[in-house]
A and B are shown apart, each in its own frame.
Chain A
Amino acid sequence: MAYEVNGQSVAADEEGYIINLAEWSEPLAKVIAQSESLELTSNHWEVINFLREYYSEFQIAPAIRVLTKAIGKKLGPDKGNNKYLYDLFPYGPAKQACKIAGLPKPTGCI
């Protein structure tokens, strides 16, 4: 499959994760989110930006615990929990947020 953004086509795998991570852009994130029936708010962007920062350092998405802790530190303890992340990304914070952030799909028993 592919996403259309600003007249450009961005290739993605059969599950909607983009193939070439360098092709990610903020407008693309909005397009991916739309295809997941999500409208991105500033709360979503906090998560997306953290994922991308972590990925650029470690070449993998953070553990959910690492993510909740980081969000809790930034936005307050009432937001540093799984429920908050599932409210933002109902299909599951690991996979859905990674897809929108342009990161590879986390694999394994997760």
Chain B
Amino acid sequence: MSDITAPTLGEYVDTPKPRAGVMKDLQTFKASPEHQQALGFPGTLVDDWQNKAIQRLGELLDTQRGLRVYLDSCVKCGSCTDKCHYFLGTGDANNMPAARQDLLRGVYRRYFTLPGKLFPKLVGATDLTREVLDSWYTYFHQCSQCRRCSVFCPYGIDTAEISMAAREVMDTIGVGQKYCNEIIGKVHKIGNNLGLPEPALRNTLEGLEEDVKDSTGVDVRFPVDVEGAEVLLITPSADFFAEPHIDGLIGYAKVFHQAGISWTLSSHASEAANFAMFIGSHEQMRKVAMRIREAALALKVKRIVVGECGHAWRVAYSFWNTLIGPFDFLDPRYPQPQHICEVTDDLISRGALKIDPSANDERVVTFHDSCNVARATRMGGRPGGQMEVPRSVIRSVCNNFVEMSRETTGDQTFCCGGGGGLLTDDLLDLRVKGALPRMQALNTVVKEQKVTHMAAICAICKSQFTKVLPYYGLNREMIISVHQLVGDAIVLGAKE
């Protein structure tokens, strides 16, 4: 793995000349039979897999009308080609979004459209062969489902939906990805992606209480399974384990502490992430999310707040109500669920927290919009709030804030390069290359505006940048949680 090299950063990202198959040999590890079966999928490629795959694709076409529209409507206008970070970073022709879609579209045409059934060669229809299945596995695991291409598509074709459908079809015939499926199995068994059992969770949180006491002199609590707490915090388990995530968790705790809001974590639902979205399985998505409803009911909380996790906020904001709702047992005066940035921003704007932004004066901060938050959710109950609220929080706690270039932020943000179930070591080469557009934009503000830190609100983004920044000659510790900035600037113990 040491032979991975990053593309060189120049003044701007050149659109590469498409080349066939340069990334064809990079296949993510397949799930073992054990990992597959834990999710109810066949352990290995089933007999009669072609027919079963076609059948499953047909079911998806019937139940997800968008999918059929997306597969029908591409006119090959080319708008999407240079919008994908993986294409920009690798130059592989199949990483152009329209070409990626075509891997599934050709099969759709062959089996589900009249011209494709009668004259396949004339309409780009292809038989589902082993080679095609192989190309699906490779290239639908080189898509992070970030949906940037769909912003620029005049028809709004959502490549993420196509990629999710392809992964679901593959799981159904026994071809799954190790990274996602092993993790989903751990959530079913233990309650989080890490496989962090309750005693270890409690031990970690006790350690954090000591740390905060040592550094501030204040008893800030990190409660677990407290029945009757007002807020249930659902946060990615990386917040209990990884750097810089854990400082974000400390920030949430300080916010709740200082605002006097009683809160609790749940050992049963100790995970915000829901990787079932990445594999396109609604059934798995519901099962993963259901733990949260169960925990909220058992703990008799009044509110559910979601920590810094990009795709989790998409699942929570867009899907929870249909998956695990209704939330009529929660307090209707609050948005349910609510993002931690909404909670903090609201408290700051009401003067409920005393903030000393000079605590962050050593930092010049920029903000990386996470794809799922920016393109699939809202905050603050208004369009664009998902971009404004985190920035409002940062500006409140930090005097030096700088934007990266417009075509890389907001709803045009570039994926970190590790989203959509691709944050795995076996895809590191792709992750390094796919980070190119973000690294380019970051490097520019580092050079021109002396940016020292990039804040984010997604566990995947934070881990991905920690890993890939050094490949681009940047310091891995540049990446920081938004709530670390908050936590460092909160004046504890003082009330206005």
Binding site for B on A (CB under 8 A): 14-15, 37, 57-60, 62-66, 69, 82, 86, 91-92, 94-95, 104, 106-110
Contacts and interface: CB of A to CB of B under 8 A. Distances in A.
B246 A110 contact: no
Contact of A94 (B242, B423, B476): B242
B238 A108 contact: yes
B337 to A, nearest CB: 19
B195 interface: yes
A69 B206 CA distance: 13
B295 to A, nearest CB: 19
Contacts of A92: 467
B200 interface: yes
B90 interface: no
B200 A58 contact: yes
B463 A110 contact: yes
A65 B243 contact: yes
A65 B211 contact: yes
Dominant secondary structure at the B interface: helix
Contacts of A109: 193, 236-238, 242, 273, 309, 423, 459-460, 462-463
Looking at chain B, what size class is its interface with the partner chain? 35 or more
B196 interface: yes
Contacts of A65: 204, 207-208, 211, 243, 246
B194 A15 contact: no
Contacts of A86: 476
A66 B179 CA distance: 25
Given A58-B197, A60-B196, A108-B183, A69 B211 contact: yes
B241 interface: yes
Contacts of B426: 14-15
B237 A108 contact: yes
A64 B246 contact: yes
B67 to A, nearest CB: 27
Interface string B96-114: 0000000000000000000
B242 A66 contact: no
Nearest to A61: B241
A7 B1 CA distance: 27
Interface string B462-480: 1100010000000011000
Given A57-B199, A58-B200, 18 more contacts: A15-B425, A37-B2, A59-B197, A60-B196, A63-B241, A65-B204, A69-B207, A82-B477, A94-B242, A107-B183, A108-B186, A108-B192, A108-B193, A108-B194, A108-B241, A109-B193, A109-B460, A110-B194
